[in-house]
Amino acid sequence: MALPICMTLTLLIIYIAFFIKKKLSFLHNSIVFMIITIISKNYITLMTMEFKLFKIAEKPSLFLVLILNRDIIIPLLIIICINLHFQITKWSKRIIVYLIIIGFMQMMDVLLKYFGVIHFINWNLLYALVVNVTYINIGLGISKLLFVISSWEGQRNDRNI
Amino acid sequence: MTVIYEKSFNYNEWFVIINFIIMLLIIWKLPKQFSILEGTAHFLYGIAIGMFFDHTISVKPWDFYDVNDDSSYQLIDFLSYVAYGPYSYIFIYLYKKLNIKGFTHIIYVLLWGCFSVLIEWVSIKVGLFHFDKGYKMYWSFPIYIFVQSLQIIFYQIIKRS
């Protein structure tokens, strides 16, 4: 049950990420995507193998759910969030976007817990909320840095011409 | 349970560190072909893909092999994944420099697949990888040529966007 639900959600998120109007280029979005996947993989491996704050399911089908969440759902939600952030100028609307994205990430954590993909040991949904907010902040930080590097590189190329 | 292969700071750690430094120096010395962001994206690609496979098939439920001194996640493990970055950068650097076209793609990817397997073989000899849990090196070859082909597609999409 967990895998079909997660696969459906993954496909829906891929559709949304593919069709939303993007303010970041493909290159910018791919860099953010890769950095978030690197962070999420390390976060889960450290939490399970080193700190033992939660345990992951050893059943392969449930582990696939974790992989989908870790490597596709989380990074794509961050991509959706940052593209909407730069598209929307009103802060009230931006906050609504953050709340929806964080809500979705929290729902994923609840689903993972419900289906036994993750067993919390010294962990709870409040800590997970902190991690999800951190993902969004990292995504926003990287995207702003990428804009700075792009404009700096553009200026440098102009000077060379 | 954590499997310990050894505890000393020896060949495997030095291999990772020296290999990483030499590869970074090579990148530093090579004439620039990419923008900072494009180069970063190709560098990150290697890290993200390397981590994806190692954080998926070298952890439970599959747990096919171990990396470095024991089966836990250490700082040197992280560095060994980061060391994939220069390889993916040089792979695409040479691809652009040699102006690979048409059927030469097959030769280029196969040669890099062989080179990657050779590096993996050296890594086993120095104790970076431990395939004691049943993983066979011949499985790596199709994985390498698959991820390298994917990187060529990634490069082409960036070029056209």
pLDDT band at B48 (very low <50, low <70, confident <90, very high): very high
Residue B157 is predicted with a pLDDT of 97
Q: Which of A133, A142, A112 is nearest to A31 (CA)?
A: A142
Q: Which of B143, B10, B147, B161 is nearest to B91 (CA)?
A: B147
Residue B136 is predicted with a pLDDT of 92
Residue A157 is predicted with a pLDDT of 78
The beta-carbon neighbor of B59 closest among A45, A59, A153 is: A45
In order along its 161 residues, chain A shows pLDDT tens digits of 899 999 999 999 999 999 999 999 999 999 999 999 999 999 999 999 899 999 999 899 999 999 999 999 999 999 999 999 999 999 999 999 999 999 999 999 999 999 999 999 999 999 999 999 999 999 999 999 999 999 998 888 777 66
| Chain A interface includes B35 (CB < 8 A) | yes
Q: For B98-156, how does the pLDDT look when each residue is reduced to its tens digit (9 = 90+)?
A: 999 999 999 999 999 999 999 999 999 999 999 988 899 999 999 999 999 999 999 99
| Chain A interface includes B110 (CB < 8 A) | no
- For chains A and B, CB pairs below 8 A equal 66
Both tokens assigned to B129: 């990888």
Strand partners, B70: B4
The beta-carbon neighbor of B60 closest among A26, A31, A58 is: A58
CA neighbours closer than 13 Å in the CB half-sphere of residue A120:
13
B29: CB partners within 8 A, 6+ apart:
none
Taking CA–CA distances from B63, the nearest residue in chain A reads A58
Both tokens assigned to B160: 């056209």
Residue A30 is predicted with a pLDDT of 98
Q: Residue B118 burial by CB count (10 A; 0-12/13-18/19+): exposed, middle or buried?
A: exposed
What is the pTM for the complete model shown?
0.94
Residues of A in contact with B35 (CB under 8 A): 153
Residue A128 is predicted with a pLDDT of 96
Is this prediction's ipTM beyond 0.85?
A: yes
Residues of A in contact with B38 (CB under 8 A): 27
Question: How many other C-beta atoms are found inside a 10 Å radius of the C-beta of residue B1?
Answer: 4
Residue A1 is predicted with a pLDDT of 87
Q: State the Cα–Cα distance between residues A25 and A122, nearest whole angstrom.
A: 40
Residue A161 is predicted with a pLDDT of 63
Residue B152 is predicted with a pLDDT of 98
| Chain A interface includes B47 (CB < 8 A) | yes
| Chain A interface includes B67 (CB < 8 A) | no
**Rg of chain B, C-alpha, whole Å:** 16
Residues of A in contact with B1 (CB under 8 A): none
| Chain A interface includes B52 (CB < 8 A) | yes
How close, in Å, is residue A68 to chain B by CA atoms?
11
Looking at chain B, the whole-number percentage of residues with pLDDT higher than 70 is 99
